[in-house]
Amino acid sequence: TTHSLLLLPGDGIGPEIMASAGEVIDWFNRRAGGKLFTTETDLVGGAAYDAHGAAISEETMQKALAADAVLFGAVGGPKWDDVPYDVRPEAGLLRLRKDLQLFANLRPAICYAALADASSLKKELVEGLDILIVRELTGGVYFGEPKEIRDLGNGQKRAVDTQVYDTFEIERIARVAFDLARTRRNKVTSSEKRNVMKSGVLWKEVVERVREADYPDVELEHMLADNCGMQLVRRPKQFDVIVCDNLFGDMLSDVAAMLTGSLGMLPSASLGAPDPTTGRRKALYEPVHGSAPDITGTGRANPIAMIASFAMALRYSFGLVEEADLLDKAIATALDSGARTADIAPDGADTVGTEEMTAAIIAALDNL
C-alpha cells in the first residue's frame, strides 16, 4: 500500500522542521524500495493568507480531506498580527480541525533517558516515563452555548461559559482511549470532576458503560481531575492512558508535557471518526510548539517534535508499528549520542542545528 501525506509546513520555523520530516519520509521510502509514502506540499496559515487572502484555500482543504494523513508544521507570526480575525493564520488550523472532525487530541509525554536529568522533577520520577493524554477536542466548555458576557444593568456584568457533553461525544473519545490502551499497557485513567459537575457524572457513567460492553480486558480507574494534576507531578509513572474533557485535557497535557522537557520535543496527533468502509481515521499530526519567530531563519529549531509527530502518523494512521518504534528509537539514539539543539542543551554545552540533529537521527536509522 501507498500512504498519501499532505504536508502543510506553515510559517516561521514550520518549513525548516518540515524539511527534516521530509528527509525522514524519504529514508523510509528508500528502505521500502519504492513509494511507501507519497507527499504533496501546500500552504497554510500566514503563507496561505499572503498567497490567497485566506488561512487555508478550499483547494488545500480538499487535499486535506483526501489525504491519508496531514502533517502540519506551525502557523502565525508577527507579520500577520493585524490581519482580520477570520483569516488570521490560526484559522487555518481551526478549519482543518473542524472539517476533518478531529475530536481526539493525543499528547504523549515521553522521557528520553538522555534527558532525564533535565526534567523539572527528580530523575527517578521521570526516567522511562511514557504516558499518553487523550483530550476531547471539539466539545465542552470551550464551545458550549450560551457563551456570552451579559450586562446586568447595575454596573455589573455576568460572564457565562457552558460545559456541554452528549453521550456520543463521551463514547467516541472513550473508545479512542481504550483502543490506544490496548496497544500500550492496557490501562485507562478517566479524569473528571463528578463531585461538582454534572458533565463529570455523565462522563464517568458513559466511560464505564463503554468499558463493560467492549473493553472488559482494559483496566479502568476514575480520578478527579484536580487529584490527577497532583498525581502527574507526584508519581507520573502510575499512568498509561489518561482520558479527559477539553478543558481538563488542555491543562493536564501541558502539565504532563513539562515533566519531560522542552516544547521542541513534543509531538501531537488529532484523530477523527473511523471511516465506515475503510476503518481509517482522518488525522492531523503536528508539534505542540508554534512558529518560533524568535529563531526563524537561524537554523536552530529542534526538529524532534516534528519528526516524532511523523512517528505518531506511522503508528496511528498507517499501522506501521515497527517503523514507528524504529523512528522513536532513532530519536533516542541521536540524543544518547549527545546531539542537542540549543533548546535542550544545558547552559554552556555544545549545540547542533536543525540539519545536524536531523542528520544524527538519519544516521541512527541507518545503524539500527
C-alpha dihedral (235, 237, 241, 246), degrees to nearest 10:
40
Which residues lie closer than 8 Å to 214 by C-beta, 6 or more apart? 175, 178
H and E: helices and strands count for the chain: 12, 12
Q: Considering only the stretches 46-54, 144-152, 195-203, 249-257, report the one whose residues sit in contact with Mg ion under the rule CB under 5 A.
A: 249-257
Which of ligand NAI, Mg ion, none lies near 250, with the C-beta cut-off 5 to 8 A by kind? Mg ion
Asked whether position 77 contacts ligand NAI by CB under 6 A, the answer is yes
Interior angle at CA 234, CA 230 and CA 235, nearest 5: 115
Which of Mg ion, ligand NAI, none lies near 133, with the C-beta cut-off 5 to 8 A by kind? none
Amino acid code (one letter) for 28: F
Alpha carbons within 13 A on the beta-carbon side of 113: 8
Active site (catalytic) residues: 142, 193, 226, 250, 254
Q: Which is nearer to Mg ion, 100 or 137 (CB)?
A: 137
Cβ atoms of 220 and 188 within 8 Å: the answer is yes
Question: Which among 297, 301, 308, 299 is positioned nearest to 257, based on CA atoms?
Answer: 308
Q: Which is nearer to ligand NAI, 133 or 188 (CB)?
A: 133
Asked whether position 295 contacts ligand NAI by CB under 6 A, the answer is yes
Q: Which of 130, 214, 250, 356 binds Mg ion (CB under 5 A)?
A: 250
Chain centroid, CA 218 distance in Å: 23
Which helix or strand (DSSP H or E) is residue 273 part of? Answer: strand 267-274
Asked whether position 294 contacts ligand NAI by CB under 6 A, the answer is yes
For residue 231, what is its C-alpha cell?
A: 498525581
Residue count (the chain): 368
Q: How far apart are CA 75 and CA 14, in angstroms?
A: 7
Q: Which is nearer to ligand NAI, 119 or 354 (CB)?
A: 354
Q: Which is nearer to Mg ion, 59 or 254 (CB)?
A: 254
Q: How many residues lie near ligand NAI (CB under 6 A)?
A: 20
Q: Which of 3, 135, 289, 315 binds ligand NAI (CB under 6 A)?
A: 289
Which of Mg ion, ligand NAI, none lies near 289, with the C-beta cut-off 5 to 8 A by kind? ligand NAI
Residue 77 CB, nearest approach to ligand NAI (Å) = 5
- The verdict on whether residue 287 carries a ligand-binding annotation is no
Cβ atoms of 50 and 7 within 8 Å: the answer is no
Q: Considering only the stretches 119-127, 151-159, 282-290, 327-335, report the one whose residues sit in contact with ligand NAI under the rule CB under 6 A.
A: 282-290
Asked whether position 74 contacts ligand NAI by CB under 6 A, the answer is yes
Q: Which stretches of the chain bind Mg ion, using CB under 5 A? A: 250, 254
| Residue list, annotated binding site for NAD(+) | 77-90, 290-302
Q: Which stretches of the chain bind ligand NAI, using CB under 6 A? A: 13, 74-77, 93, 263-264, 286, 289-295, 301-302, 305, 343
